[in-house]
Amino acid sequence: MKPLRLFILLLAASLILTGSMFAYDRATLRWMRSNPRISSIVIEGNAYFKDSEIKKQLYSKTETFWNAIKGDRRRRLQKETLGRDTLEVKYLYFINGFLNVKVQETFEVVPKDSSCLVRIRIDEGRQFFFGDMKVTGTYEGRFEYRFYNIADRLKKGRPVNPFDIRRAVFDMNTILANNGYPYAKITYTVDTSGQYEHNPVTFLVESDSLVHFGEVTIEGVEYYPEYVARRELKIKPGNIYRLDDVVRSQERLFESGYFSTLQLNRDENDQDRLNPHFTLKVRERKTKYITFKMGAGQSLDRDLVWSLSNDFGKRNILGSRRVDITSAYSFDLSRQIRLMTHRYRLRFTEPWFMGIRMPLILTGEWEPKMYEPDERYKIGTWSISASTTKKFGLKIKTVLGFQYESVSISGLTPEEEIDIKQAEGISIRRKLYFTFRRDSRDNIFIPRKGSLFDLSGEYYGGFLHGDDNFYKLQSSWARYQTVWPGWISATRLGGGWAENFGESSDIPVDDRFSLGGANSVRGFRERYLGPLTEAGVPKGSKYFVLFNQEFRWKTVQVFSVIPLLKDLFKSLPLWQSVFFDAGNGFEELEDIKFDNLAFSFGTGLQIQSPAGPIRIDYARLIKTEQFEFDDRFHFTILYAF
């Protein structure tokens, strides 16, 4: 409802503004255009709401210390102020049952300093309350139960909210549109005659005729076969019309990756209203592409690493299959420029494996042998993998895959090769893996509601052979909800279990679980929570448990221009958070005890950029028998979960 509310307010404000400008003389208009400071706001005629409750809704803000620091332009009379306050107050009263409220706003000059006094006069009128709900009209009986379920959301005795009624009408229309009745019309009436203590609401439903899909004509296909677009359509001739099928078809076409823009509309020349034909107009993406990437960063053992990569791809191999060729290079810049690694990858994608919308991806990767610094041997690797992805509806995604890896070392005897593999943690990995994700978040960057569940598993060695035999299971669940206006609660629970079997006596360090740092338990160095070697180096864990609780809200906004940063904070809003983290990694199952957990708390500040939240967190460890007090700053992008 928020976008709808804003649109209504802005449209009405423009109409009110046009008329209200003629209500002031020229001297007053010149004074208003000078954007005078708002020194006070006076509310008159209100009985149901306190002055403070109404002022919270207003666009106008009085001059205060904090508003001045933020550079909030609303503390001065603005062009958009005219009529905006009136609409905000009316909206507040409308959603609380005052359907006949009248609001008048005036702006008065304060002679002392030519500041502005905003005066708002309110005639509240009568308050109305929901009474009995009735659904009538012409429609199939199978819809009645669902209609009344929607109508019953308007609880008897609650103040009449016209926006809630319109939402109910929209939901009823959606049910009909998804069951073959796109021409249905629903109207409503609220009995305000005064003969009832509560006001009955009647919905009149006219479903019209049952509609089936007609043919779909596709235009704009040139580089790809027509079936590339047609197979993504949920619209099938003869099927009952469903609005969701039209919307989902457009989403699938974008997800396919072959089209940059598209339009799927009713054929304007088609006169058959019961079997409407559609026209799909697409703009194709180029069949060939080349991309270049570069960046710099830190690794675990080098201060500065520079990376370069380029990618060449073709999207219409053997019809609609795709091929990608990637080469990537990394250079050590800490002392002298030296090539560290170079890798080459070939990837083939079959978008519809076995005629099902389940892409199969075949990948081959090769990292040629290179001499290690000050060593006489070379290490090279190659791997092949196959994976497939399947989506179930809009929320569930699954992945199943296989990877075969081989490592070769030259310049050493067989005995020396075994020693190097053990010392460097080098091993041949062959694995099966799967992931299951259910994502109902409303936004991937700043989720305000919904949940995210992840489950993943990996099986190494065994009947696949290889140097290591072990399996891993890892799961996490996160829940997001608004706990009070403007505050978001984010909760996460996670855990993992890894176990070696067969001839393997342990699990390689790189495949163990790592905790600590900006995205797990804050207050620790990255990967430094859990078992350590005698030298104090992280060796990872076989088990872990994790709990995070975070509250996020929009903090004090800075609207004024800041030297060097200019108006950065005006376009990128600031958020703040407080958090509590708990967890640890363990070597043995019996070590998982409450007394062995690490706890931290802290606060953070986030800049909401187009690429996601850029955040800095400050965390303090809680001293326990296992952990000493410490504190740490973390700087990274995206929320921890």
What is the tens place of the pLDDT at every residue in 192-224? Answer: 988 888 999 999 999 999 999 999 999 999 999
Cβ-proximal residues to 322 (8 Å cutoff; 6+ apart), any chain: 313, 314, 315, 347, 348, 349, 351
- 639 burial (CB, 10 Å; 0-12 / 13-18 / 19+) is buried
Judged against a pLDDT cut of 60, whether residue 20 lies above it is answered with: no
Cβ-proximal residues to 403 (8 Å cutoff; 6+ apart), any chain: 383, 384, 385, 429, 430, 431, 433
Cβ-proximal residues to 399 (8 Å cutoff; 6+ apart), any chain: 387, 388, 389, 433, 434, 435
Supply 39's token pair: 């020194």
* Residue bearing the bigger pLDDT, 337 or 178: 178
d(CA 562, CA 545): 43
- Measure the CA angle with vertex 561, ends 556 and 565; round to 5°: 90
CATH architecture of 130-206: Roll (3.10)
pTM: 0.79
Spell out a b/e string for 124-161, using b for 16 or more CB atoms within 10 Å of the CB, else e: beeebebbebebeeebeeebeeebeebbeebeeeebbb
Q: How confident is the model at residue 19 (pLDDT cuts 50, 70, 90)?
A: very low
Tens digit of each residue's pLDDT (9 = 90 or more) over 456-498 = 999 999 998 888 899 999 999 999 999 988 899 999 999 999 9
Per-residue pLDDT at 556: 77
Tens digit of each residue's pLDDT (9 = 90 or more) over 419-430 = 665 555 566 789
Percentage of the chain exceeding pLDDT 70: 88
From 422, 423, 450, 421, select the one nearest 437 (Cα to Cα). Answer: 450
Judged by average pLDDT, the poorest of 9-13, 68-72, 228-232, 402-406 is: 9-13
Cβ-proximal residues to 359 (8 Å cutoff; 6+ apart), any chain: 349, 350, 351, 352, 353, 388, 389
Using the structure block, give the residue that is written with the tokens 């008159």.
Answer: 44
Judged against a pLDDT cut of 90, whether residue 412 lies above it is answered with: no
Judged against a pLDDT cut of 60, whether residue 118 lies above it is answered with: yes
Fold held by 216-284: Ubiquitin-like (UB roll) (3.10.20)
d(CA 142, CA 631): 62
Where are the CATH 3.10.20.310 domain residues in the chain? 2-123, 130-206, 216-284
Percentage of the chain exceeding pLDDT 90: 69
Distance of CA 153 to the CA centre of its chain: 28
C-alpha distances (whole Å) from 2 to each of 103, 163, 452, 487 are 22, 11, 24, 16
* Residue bearing the bigger pLDDT, 270 or 93: 93
**Residues 74 and 57: beta-carbon distance below 8 Å:** no
Per-residue pLDDT at 330: 87
d(CA 479, CA 551): 12
Highest-pLDDT range among 141-155, 284-298, 333-347, 395-409? 141-155
In CATH, which of 3.10.20.310, 3.30.70.100, 3.40.80.10, 2.30.40.10 is domain 2-123?
Answer: 3.10.20.310
Tens digit of each residue's pLDDT (9 = 90 or more) over 594-610 = 999 999 999 999 998 88
User: Mean pLDDT over residues 584-590, rounded?
Assistant: 95
Per-residue pLDDT at 618: 97
C-alpha distances (whole Å) from 281 to each of 150, 185, 227, 272 are 36, 29, 14, 20
**Residues 579 and 617: beta-carbon distance below 8 Å:** yes
Judged by average pLDDT, the poorest of 27-31, 40-44, 68-72, 336-340 is: 68-72
